[in-house]
Chain A
């Protein structure tokens, strides 16, 4: 018991010392509050409300627009899954840019959550002979097919396992999210992710004011700060409101399918049950909820 006390008082002293340093460095109360903010998972409803209200005010100050920041939790009875029809995808990259716009990704330095790989039909799915730097006049180009990669929303994610502070975790609806206010920027998750799906803010992210998306989720597309990791969240701000992710909506060939894996009537369940489905790097046992299939 005594030990416990001394540890607590030690931690308290550390905390006090850091407050003092902060106070001396001339930070205002708001910065202090942000500094002391707890992990999003452990916040009460009241605290969350206060934080997202403050965020909306901050963003308004910064961008001069009205923002709607949500903290909506996972819906009961949902487990989201994604399927992508490799036979249909033409590699137009509309999804890449729709995602950038929807999710307020930094334009400079540029961050893309979706990476479309061009593969050779002769070789099949072979990453060693793929490229994301294809640039023909017209897609699809002869003899090629396309495989877009984003976060695979693994059921057994390596990225959350290695995180030293639990700044990233899997939500009850299966979405792996990041608390941008908690991430320490060690990038261990990026080293652990087998899909290169995580992206780091190497500098202060910039988003043009006129393009900013004002419908936001705390764990999703709200503007990030420099030095933290971000990733695809299946457009958490949309799917928890019953909408499709924006990449699904924009896809001109209908290659992208999305739905609730727990709903036996859903399109995604139909695909899993009736099509030839594959996941990337199955041998690693990450158990993605992002499936690829050949529709024809």
Chain B
């Protein structure tokens, strides 16, 4: 589409979704009710202690930590789409940057909360900030999660400034307060060449900055596990293994969001089949890399079967977790890769369903990284009471975990409702720029 010639149409099209519909209200109410229920569940956990979860002395980390890793992982896609594809000058990815950044910001921000949920004494959280020991990987994690959240927010905000100006001018039917807010946030943007230069330089600097930070955030998250000596975590490839896994779940999340916005916001002309085709191909690429790391991670210790590794791997390959392990590998990784090789499955609806499988697999994969290793302690004492060794999450725990998802969806919903989900100014400006060249 030629954005310059159709400027008015583009603006009208992209601003059209910014009004509150009935289905939006219903969806939002559903999320808020869900969140309230899980806040209630969390209040029970505060009152009664972490004993309301399925965690006990042997499996001390469970669903919460797995969920935390998943959240951090999914947030990494912002860096992949905006920074990597952006800096490489890949044009088709430009309309997807805002979706990716919103996902990145929401997941990274909530990841911080997820880890607080797991704390036995959240009232002492400030100790970590004021008296933190930098020798502990938890501190590294905290630092990079916060940094990444801030940079993601900036990377969402900078390209948004001109769009906010457009919003404040063109959204005549919006609430005056809402328009005022747009104007305020647009920082008196006037499309001045100097402003354009500043903003472009800013975006470029942030795009470069976010790459090492995004790599760090997930590498450090993997080190949280890899620095211990537990079989299953004691691995040197955990950093890249986690990072590539993160791209898989993030890419899948973007495909899900694309499908949703394309349908509900009537953006078929902007998020076209081409975008699904390209994103699906990207998903193949990152899944293949992830598969490669999976083979490394399991084949090599599986070949040696050292004493304690053997206990762990037996549980995964043929024991208690075999169904989940093989399910994740086959339905969450191998079959999606094979299916996406065919053009038919790279169409919007098909890739939506495949992405759904991939993202569920990605979540379960994090669960598999955390729980089975915890269940096989360094001293594998057999025949302990069942609730000591075999972990199964309780209803309260699941409700609280769901709550974190609801909160993320609320953030994504609000941001994508009140902001143009496709960057207007950037698209128009880039196509102008392209002509000048």
Q: Do A and B bind each other?
A: yes
Give residues in A with beta carbon < 8 Å to B. Answer: 11, 14-15, 18, 35, 39, 109, 115, 117, 127-133, 149, 158, 161-167, 182-188, 190-196, 198-204, 226-229, 280-281, 284
Q: Convert B217-256 into 0s and 1s, putting 1 for each residue whose CB lies closer than 8 angstroms to a CB of A.
A: 0000000100111100000000000000000000000000
Q: Convert B117-144 into 0s and 1s, putting 1 for each residue whose CB lies closer than 8 angstroms to a CB of A.
A: 0111111111111111101111100100
Pick from B121, B125, B383: contact of A183, CB below 8 A.
B121
Query: In whole angstroms, what is the CA distance A179 to B354 when docked?
Result: 50
Query: In whole angstroms, what is the CA distance A188 to B135 when docked?
Result: 13
Query: In whole angstroms, what is the CA distance A207 to B379 when docked?
Result: 29
**B50 at the A/B interface (Cβ < 8 Å)?**
yes
Query: In whole angstroms, what is the CA distance A129 to B384 when docked?
Result: 12
Query: In whole angstroms, what is the CA distance A130 to B132 when docked?
Result: 39
**B378 at the A/B interface (Cβ < 8 Å)?**
yes
Known: A109-B51, A191-B374. A164 touches B132 (CB 8 A): yes
- Interchain Cβ contacts under 8 Å between A and B, 6 examples: A15-B126, A149-B379, A165-B127, A185-B119, A187-B120, A200-B50
**B281 at the A/B interface (Cβ < 8 Å)?**
no
| Cβ-defined contact, B132 with A165, below 8 A | yes
Pick from B120, B131, B382: contact of A226, CB below 8 A.
B120
**B434 at the A/B interface (Cβ < 8 Å)?**
no
Pick from B55, B56, B119: contact of A186, CB below 8 A.
B119
With a cutoff of 8 Å between Cβ atoms, the chain A residues found around residue B138 in the complex are: 162, 164, 186, 188
**B58 at the A/B interface (Cβ < 8 Å)?**
yes
| Cβ-defined contact, B120 with A166, below 8 A | no
With a cutoff of 8 Å between Cβ atoms, the chain A residues found around residue B374 in the complex are: 191
5 closest A-B pairs by CB? A185-B120, A227-B120, A202-B51, A194-B378, A164-B138
Query: In whole angstroms, what is the CA distance A174 to B121 when docked?
Result: 27
| Cβ-defined contact, A196 with B121, below 8 A | no
Known: A109-B51, A132-B384. A184 touches B127 (CB 8 A): yes
Q: Convert B399-422 into 0s and 1s, putting 1 for each residue whose CB lies closer than 8 angstroms to a CB of A.
A: 000000000000000000000000
Known: A127-B380, A130-B381. A192 touches B228 (CB 8 A): yes
Pick from A14, A132, A190, A228: contact of B126, CB below 8 A.
A14
Give residues in B with beta carbon < 8 Å to A. Answer: 48-51, 55-58, 60-61, 118-133, 135-139, 142, 224, 227-230, 307, 311, 374, 377-385
With a cutoff of 8 Å between Cβ atoms, the chain A residues found around residue B118 in the complex are: 186-187
Known: A130-B382, A185-B121. A227 touches B49 (CB 8 A): yes
Residue of chain B at shortest CB distance from A10: B129
Known pairs A165-B131, A186-B120; list 5 more (Cβ under 8 Å). A15-B130, A115-B381, A127-B379, A162-B136, A182-B127
Residue of chain B at shortest CB distance from A182: B127
Query: In whole angstroms, what is the CA distance A165 to B137 when docked?
Result: 11
Known: A132-B384, A184-B119, A227-B121. A195 touches B378 (CB 8 A): yes
Residue of chain A at shortest CB distance from B134: A164
| Cβ-defined contact, B119 with A163, below 8 A | no
Known: A184-B127, A195-B379. A202 touches B119 (CB 8 A): no
Residue of chain B at shortest CB distance from A162: B136
Give chain B nearest CB distance to A182 CB in angstroms.
Answer: 7
Query: In whole angstroms, what is the CA distance A165 to B127 when docked?
Result: 7
| Cβ-defined contact, B133 with A200, below 8 A | no
Residue of chain B at shortest CB distance from A11: B130
Give chain A nearest CB distance to B135 CB in angstroms.
Answer: 7
Give chain B nearest CB distance to A111 CB in angstroms.
Answer: 8
With a cutoff of 8 Å between Cβ atoms, the chain A residues found around residue B55 in the complex are: 202
| Cβ-defined contact, A133 with B384, below 8 A | yes
Query: In whole angstroms, what is the CA distance A14 to B128 when docked?
Result: 13
Pick from A161, A192, A202, A280: contact of B49, CB below 8 A.
A202
| Cβ-defined contact, A284 with B123, below 8 A | no
With a cutoff of 8 Å between Cβ atoms, the chain A residues found around residue B60 in the complex are: 187, 190-191, 200
Give chain B nearest CB distance to A1 CB in angstroms.
Answer: 20
With a cutoff of 8 Å between Cβ atoms, the chain A residues found around residue B61 in the complex are: 187, 191
With a cutoff of 8 Å between Cβ atoms, the chain B residues found around residue A202 in the complex are: 49-51, 55-56
| Cβ-defined contact, B128 with A184, below 8 A | yes
Give chain A nearest CB distance to B150 CB in angstroms.
Answer: 15
With a cutoff of 8 Å between Cβ atoms, the chain A residues found around residue B124 in the complex are: 165, 182-185
Query: In whole angstroms, what is the CA distance A18 to B136 when docked?
Result: 25
| Cβ-defined contact, B133 with A166, below 8 A | yes
Give chain A nearest CB distance to B141 CB in angstroms.
Answer: 9
| Cβ-defined contact, A183 with B378, below 8 A | no
With a cutoff of 8 Å between Cβ atoms, the chain A residues found around residue B132 in the complex are: 164-165
Residue of chain B at shortest CB distance from A133: B383
Residue of chain B at shortest CB distance from A166: B133
Residue of A15, A131, A164, A199 with highest tally of chain B CB at under 10 A:
A164
